[in-house]
Chains A and B, each alone.
Chain A
């Protein structure tokens, strides 16, 4: 069973600070990672995706991927109270018709 592990479970950062979230898959067949954000009572929305080794930056958000260790991380700089949400990591396997599995999430609270 494909597993996606996220850490930490919860995180509190001050407004303007840096938040760092981690995600690792245990399945060597994973070929794609996403980061989704879910505000309370809403559906998840895609933040960023990555499938190549290295780093990708979009505004205040940076995602890293190490394919050898199947580890990805999301970094949010200059965190804002509106960034407070559940952050979900997802991984897909090309085999089996693109099964997509999510981790249990990191709950981020940005304190004003």
Chain B
């Protein structure tokens, strides 16, 4: 199965601090996504990318930036973290529009902003 690696797995940040969440995939997938999941709820799309150098806003992009410097790496940046951004963040990758039309998820990053 395709491997998606997220780091860190757990992060405690202070309000107003900068946080960078990293995602790496070695499957040569074109599409990458960042979601957040609050306790007991579904996934909400923050940013996504369809290739190196591209980033697109999802449904809840405010307070987040994304960066796709290479095919393998997709980062989520919180410039000024707030307690409302406390959540579990999932990265996913896939090759949509092909026979491999599936998203593969990382293990998640649990972020607490105090």
B35 at the interface (CB under 8 A from A): yes
Chain A interface helix/strand/loop/mixed: strand
Q: Which residues of the other chain, A, contact B50 by a CB distance below 8 angstroms? A: 97-98
Complex formed: what's the CA distance from A97 to B102 in Å?
15
Given contacts A1-B59, A43-B90, contact A102 B45 (CB under 8 A): yes
Q: Could you tell me if B97 and A98 are in contact, using CB atoms closer than 8 angstroms?
A: yes
Q: Could you tell me if B45 and A100 are in contact, using CB atoms closer than 8 angstroms?
A: yes
Q: Could you tell me if B101 and A105 are in contact, using CB atoms closer than 8 angstroms?
A: no
A49 at the interface (CB under 8 A from B): yes
Closest to B91 in A: A43
Closest to A43 in B: B105
Complex formed: what's the CA distance from A100 to B43 in Å?
10
B74 at the interface (CB under 8 A from A): no
Given contacts A43-B105, A43-B106, A100-B48, contact A105 B58 (CB under 8 A): no
Complex formed: what's the CA distance from A94 to B101 in Å?
12
A99 at the interface (CB under 8 A from B): yes
Q: Could you tell me if A97 and B49 are in contact, using CB atoms closer than 8 angstroms?
A: yes
Given contacts A97-B48, A97-B50, A101-B59, contact A92 B42 (CB under 8 A): no
Complex formed: what's the CA distance from A98 to B104 in Å?
15
Q: Mark A82-112, 1 if CB is under 8 A from B, else 0.
A: 0000101010101011111111110100000
Given contacts A98-B50, A99-B58, A100-B33, contact A105 B41 (CB under 8 A): yes
B87 at the interface (CB under 8 A from A): no
A43-95 CB contacts (< 8 Å) to partner B: 43-46, 49, 86, 88, 90, 92, 94
B13 at the interface (CB under 8 A from A): no
Q: Which residues of the other chain, B, contact A43 by a CB distance below 8 angstroms? A: 90, 105-108
Q: Which residues of the other chain, A, contact B44 by a CB distance below 8 angstroms? A: 102
Sort A-B residue pairs by CB-CB distance and give the 6 closest, nearest first. Answer: A97-B50, A104-B42, A98-B96, A43-B105, A102-B43, A105-B42
Residue pairs across A and B with Cβ atoms less than 8 A apart, 14 shown, are: A32-B101, A43-B105, A43-B107, A45-B105, A88-B43, A94-B97, A96-B56, A97-B49, A97-B56, A99-B48, A99-B56, A101-B59, A102-B42, A102-B44
